[in-house]
């Protein structure tokens, strides 16, 4: 402001104040704490504080045998347990030099894509809650329940499946699974369109998300943002396409991207991703091969000394495992590369200048899972 204000106005002392969002807050999706510096309703600064559920996973891995680690990976990102298993399992298999039978590869892809849809559905419902629409949650949970039932059929658990084993699967698929999958595929696309009309294309929703939380291409790359959050910024990066793992090179699918890198783009990318997952599911179901479900692997797993980094495309982004083996039964060091960790680190550059309600919308669009960040 160029001109000098009158003395009576200058005395007016406005204060910025700190607002503690979390660790117990309905929309931080877990025990994440965010310290907001507010000027009225406008955000001046954001500092995420975390570690409230740090369990020392990486230390635990060093004291477990290779096959015992798999159930622990479920518990980092509990919404995409299969994708975490996937990243770890293909890493150890690479170290061992095991070739997984094709049937197991296909089943892995099916489970991973189902898991992705399940996770995105939960994101969509929770995001609806974040922006104040309660009703979509209950519609979406119907579909999610169907997927969970399928997982229960194959693995026996609903959320932390412990689905994969080194070398494939312990048990083959039950017959009823494909009937259920077919039924799910037949109606899911229609329901997805309905949710898009109900929530994503709603004018209130659009006004809350378009142009909010913009992150540029260069900044997103530099922050290591991955997954749909990165693709929202018009970067066609997808581990499934860039470094194909398992059977992904056999399927035809597109990588949806956004244009502006704002919150609405990230939402739209996720919606389109579910459609792509559906098409992968269809392809995998049609081409599902016969044969073994488990490769021959040694009874005691002792990979040769060496190190490997394997990553898969999880629902939230790149899930990676950096495994160092020293030739014993237990890994020397396991580092988890978790997508939410990097995604959250970009929060400050997205939120400053927006309002409290936008913080909730932006965090929701990043699809954070806190146990994954803390590990």
Partner 1 sequence: MTPVEILEKIKTKFPGVASTEAFGILNMETEQNKLRPLLVFLRDELNFDFMNFMTGVDRPTENIIEVVYQLFSFTTKASIVIRVKLDRTKPEIETVSDIYRTAEWHEREAAEMFGIVFLNHPDPRILLLPENFKGQPLKKDFRHPNMTPLPEVK
Partner 2 sequence: MLKYIKDIITGAITLLEGMAITFKYMFQKPITLQYPEQKAQMTTRFRGRLVMPVDEEKGDNRCTACNICVKACPNYSIAVERLTDETGKPKPKAASFTYNMGTCMFCNLCVEVCPFSAIVMSEEYELAVYDRKSLIKDLVAEKYKLKGRKGKWWISKFKDEEQV
Partner 3 sequence: MTAFMQFLKDLLYDSGKAFGLIYDGGHKIWAGFNLPPLTLDIIFLLIAAACAAAFIAINALFIIWFERKISARMQLRRGPNRVGIFGIFQTVADTIKLLIKEDITPKAVDKLAFFLGPLLVMTSTFMVFLVMPFGKGLIAADLNIGVIYILAVTGLTVLGLLCAGWGSNNKYSLIGGMRSAAQIVSYEIPNVLVMLTIVLLSGSMKLGDIIAAQPTVGYVWMQPVAFIIFLIASNAEINRGPFDLPEAESELVSGFITEYSGMKFAFFFLAEYTNLFIAGALGAVLFLGGWTGPVLPPFMWFMIKSYFVVFLLMWIRWTFPRIRVDHLMEFAWKVLIPIALLNLVVTAFVIKFH
Q: Which residues bind partner 2 (CB under 8 A)?
A: 64, 67-72, 75, 135, 139, 142, 149, 152-157, 160, 162, 170-176, 178, 194, 197-199, 201-204, 206, 288
Comparing CB distances to partner 3, the nearer of 19 and 99 is: 19
- How many residues touch partner 1 under the rule CB under 8 A: the total is 36
Residues 355-374: x/- map of binding to partner 3 (CB under 8 A)?
xxxxxx--------------
Query: Is 129 a residue that touches partner 3 (CB under 8 A)?
Result: yes
- Which candidate, 176, 171, 43, places its Cα nearest to that of 107? 171
Please tell me whether residue 342 binds partner 1 under the rule CB under 8 A: yes
If one counts every other C-beta atom within 10 angstroms of the C-beta of residue 41, the result is 10
Collapsing DSSP to helix, strand or coil, 28 comes out as coil
Please count the residues of this chain forming the interface with partner 3, following the rule CB under 8 A. 31
Per-residue binding string, partner 3, 162-201, x by CB under 8 A, is ------------------------------------xx--
Smallest distance from partner 1 to CB 225, Å: 8
- The 309-348 contact track toward partner 3, x by CB under 8 A, reads ----------------------------------------
Strands 306-313 and 318-325: antiparallel
> Segment 30-89, which members bind partner 1 (CB under 8 A)?
50-51, 54, 56, 58-59, 63
Nearby residues of 239 by Cβ (< 8 Å), 6 or more positions away? 245, 311, 312, 313, 318
Stretch that binds partner 3, among 101-109, 298-306, 323-331, 351-359 (CB under 8 A): 351-359
Of the CA atoms within 13 Å of residue 369, those in its CB half-sphere come to 23
Q: How far apart, in whole angstroms, are the C-alpha atoms of residue 176 and residue 195?
A: 28
**Residue with smaller CB distance to partner 1, 47 or 159:** 47
Per partner kind, with CB cut-offs from 5 to 8 A, the member of partner 2, partner 1, partner 3, none near residue 78 is none
Alpha-carbon distance 231 to 341, whole Å? Answer: 17
Residue 138 in tokens: 């209950």
Shortest Cβ 196–partner 3 spacing (Å): 13
For 47, the 3-state DSSP assignment is strand
Answer for which of 5, 49, 159, 204 binds partner 3 (CB under 8 A) is: 204
Name the DSSP letter for residue 163.
-
Buried b (16+ CB within 10 A) or exposed e, 2-18: eeeeeeeeeeeeeeeee
**Least Å from the CB of residue 25 to partner 3:** 7
Residues 19-58 that bind partner 3 (CB under 8 A): 19, 25-27, 41
Q: Is the peptide bond before 300 cis (omega within 30 degrees of 0)?
A: no
- Give the containing element (helix H, strand E) for 106: helix 102-130
From partner 1, partner 3, partner 2, none, interface partner of 194 (C-beta below 5 to 8 A by class): partner 2
| The only residue of 5, 16, 17, 236 in contact with partner 3, by rule CB under 8 A | 17
Show contacts with partner 1 in window 108-167 (CB under 8 A). none
State which residue, 68 or 345, has the beta carbon closest to partner 2: 68
Note whether 88 and 320 are within 8 A (CB): no
The string of DSSP codes covering 261-278 is -SHHHHHHHHHHHHHHHH
Q: What is the SS3 assignment for 168? A: strand
Please, how many CA atoms are within 13 Å of residue 194, restricted to the half-sphere of its CB? 11
Out of 128, 228, 258, 303, the residue judged to bind partner 3 by CB under 8 A: 128
* Residue number, 103 or 231, with CB nearest to partner 2: 103
Comparison of 292 and 307: residue with beta carbon closer to partner 1: 307
Distances (CA, A) of 317 to 69, 130, 232, 313: 21, 21, 12, 6
- C-alpha span between 75 and 252 (Å, rounded): 31
Q: Which residues bind partner 1 (CB under 8 A)?
A: 50-51, 54, 56, 58-59, 63, 94, 219, 221-224, 235, 237, 242-243, 306-309, 311, 318, 320, 322, 324, 332-333, 335, 337, 341-342, 345-346, 374-375
């Amino acid at each position: 402001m160029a001109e000098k204000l009158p003395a009576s106005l200058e005395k007016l002392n406005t204060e910025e104040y700190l607002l503690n969002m979390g660790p117990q807050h309905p929309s931080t999706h877990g025990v994440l704490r965010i310290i907001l510096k507010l000027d009225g309703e406008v955000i001046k600064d954001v500092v995420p504080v975390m570690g409230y559920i740090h369990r020392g996973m990486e230390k635990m891995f060093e004291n477990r045998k290779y096959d015992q680690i798999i159930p622990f990976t479920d518990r980092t990102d509990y919404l995409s347990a299969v994708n975490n298993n996937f990243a770890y399992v293909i890493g150890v298999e690479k170290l061992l030099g095991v070739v997984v039978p094709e049937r197991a590869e296909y089943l892995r892809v099916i489970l991973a894509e189902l898991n992705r849809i399940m996770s995105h559905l939960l994101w969509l419902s929770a995001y609806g809650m974040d922006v104040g629409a309660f009703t979509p949650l209950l519609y979406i949970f119907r579909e999610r329940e169907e997927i969970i039932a399928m997982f229960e059929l194959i693995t026996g658990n609903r959320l932390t499946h412990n689905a994969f084993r080194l070398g494939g699967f312990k048990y083959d698929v039950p017959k009823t699974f494909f009937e259920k999958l077919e039924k799910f595929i037949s109606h899911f696309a229609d329901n997805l369109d309905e949710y898009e009309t109900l929530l994503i294309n709603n004018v209130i929703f659009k006004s809350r998300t378009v142009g909010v939380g913009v992150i540029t291409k260069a900044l997103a790359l530099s922050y290591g943002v991955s997954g749909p959050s990165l693709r929202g910024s018009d970067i066609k990066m997808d581990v499934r396409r860039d470094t194909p793992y398992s059977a992904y090179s056999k399927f035809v699918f597109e990588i949806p991207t956004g244009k502006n890198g704002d919150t609405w783009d990230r939402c739209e990318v996720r919606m389109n991703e579910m459609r792509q997952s559906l098409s992968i599911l269809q392809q995998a179901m049609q081409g599902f091969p016969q044969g073994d479900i488990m490769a021959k692997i040694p009874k005691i797993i002792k990979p040769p000394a060496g190190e490997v980094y394997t990553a898969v495309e999880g629902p939230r982004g790149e899930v990676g495992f950096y495994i160092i083996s020293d030739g014993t039964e237990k890994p020397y060091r396991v580092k988890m590369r978790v997508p939410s960790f990097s995604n959250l680190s970009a929060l400050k550059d997205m939120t400053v200048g927006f309002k409290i309600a936008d913080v909730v919308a932006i965090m929701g669009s990043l699809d954070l899972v806190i146990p994954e960040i803390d590990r």
